[in-house]
Amino acid sequence: MSTTESLQNVSVTTKANVYFDGKCVSHGLTLADGTKKSVGVILPSTLTFNTGAPEIMEGTSGRCEYKLAGSDTWVASGVGEKFSVPGNSSFEIRVSGEPYSYICHFG
Amino acid sequence: MSTTESLQNVSVTTKANVYFDGKCVSHGLTLADGTKKSVGVILPSTLTFNTGAPEIMEGTSGRCEYKLAGSDTWVASGVGEKFSVPGNSSFEIRVSGEPYSYICHFG
């Protein structure tokens, strides 16, 4: 499936965000219209993230499985696929093998 | 020391580059004039990198020590500081404690 290989005309924050001892690393982006996104990667692990704003995760390399709060079901998501996470919630994500690169769209 | 907190009007490659099992993660950038850079982070570790093109490393968070090929001397480098690495060479870099975020300028 096709994916977003690059994002144009953005401002990138040069300090990396490092979560879970480096199992997740991201860089913040601001688009020309002020929209905030981030690009990041999750290394092989199972992690739980809390959301403030709603998020849409878009895979750009590798694959993951995710489980939303209140669900018992792991769902696979790969390159070019997106999944939505409600605000003020959480989700588990697990990656094995190749790192999972993503774009996180907020709001 | 002041540093480059953000880079404006860039295209960012959404697939992360993962080196040394994730001890170094970077994202490639292309500036409006076609110049290539990357933003990345090195987690606590001692790593050896080979260069193709010459590189200038600029610290944006944390600190590191580096040792150029042919040198016996570790040199400290922190936020807002830069160091140059010749092309077709190598350098060792070590980070302890806080991750070292950087901009890599090529050429």
What is the spatial distance between Cα B36 and Cα B104, in angstroms, rounded to a whole number? 9
The pLDDT of residue A55 is 97
The pLDDT of residue B86 is 97
Residue pLDDT, tens place only, A24-37: 999 999 999 999 99
Chain A contact set for B100 (CB, 8 A): none
- CATH number of the B10-106 domain: 2.60.120.10
| Res B1 pLDDT > 70 | no
ipTM score: 0.95
Mutate to test the interface with A, among B17, B21, B27 (most CBs of A within 10 A): B27
The pLDDT of residue A85 is 98
**Closest chain B C-alpha to A51 CA, distance in angstroms:** 21
The pLDDT of residue A1 is 67
Categorize the per-residue pLDDT at A107 as very low, low, confident or very high, splitting at 50, 70 and 90.
confident
Of A18, A27, A43, the CB nearest to B27: A27
The Cβ-side half-sphere exposure at B58, using a 13 Å CA radius, reads 18
Chain B contact set for A101 (CB, 8 A): 14-16
Contact (CB<8Å) A14/B60: yes
Categorize the per-residue pLDDT at B70 as very low, low, confident or very high, splitting at 50, 70 and 90.
very high
Residue pLDDT, tens place only, A21-70: 999 999 999 999 999 999 999 999 999 999 999 999 999 999 999 999 99
Nearest to A95 by CA among A40, A50, A53, A52: A40
Does the A12-106 domain belong in CATH 3.10.100.10?
Answer: no
What is the spatial distance between Cα A12 and Cα B60, in angstroms, rounded to a whole number? 12
The pLDDT of residue A2 is 83
What is the spatial distance between Cα B46 and Cα B5, in angstroms, rounded to a whole number? 25
What CA dihedral angle connects A20, A24, A27 and A32, to 10 degrees? Answer: -120
The Cβ-side half-sphere exposure at A71, using a 13 Å CA radius, reads 15
| Res B22 pLDDT > 90 | yes
Identity of residue B5? E
The domain limits of chain A are 12-106
Identity of residue B38? S
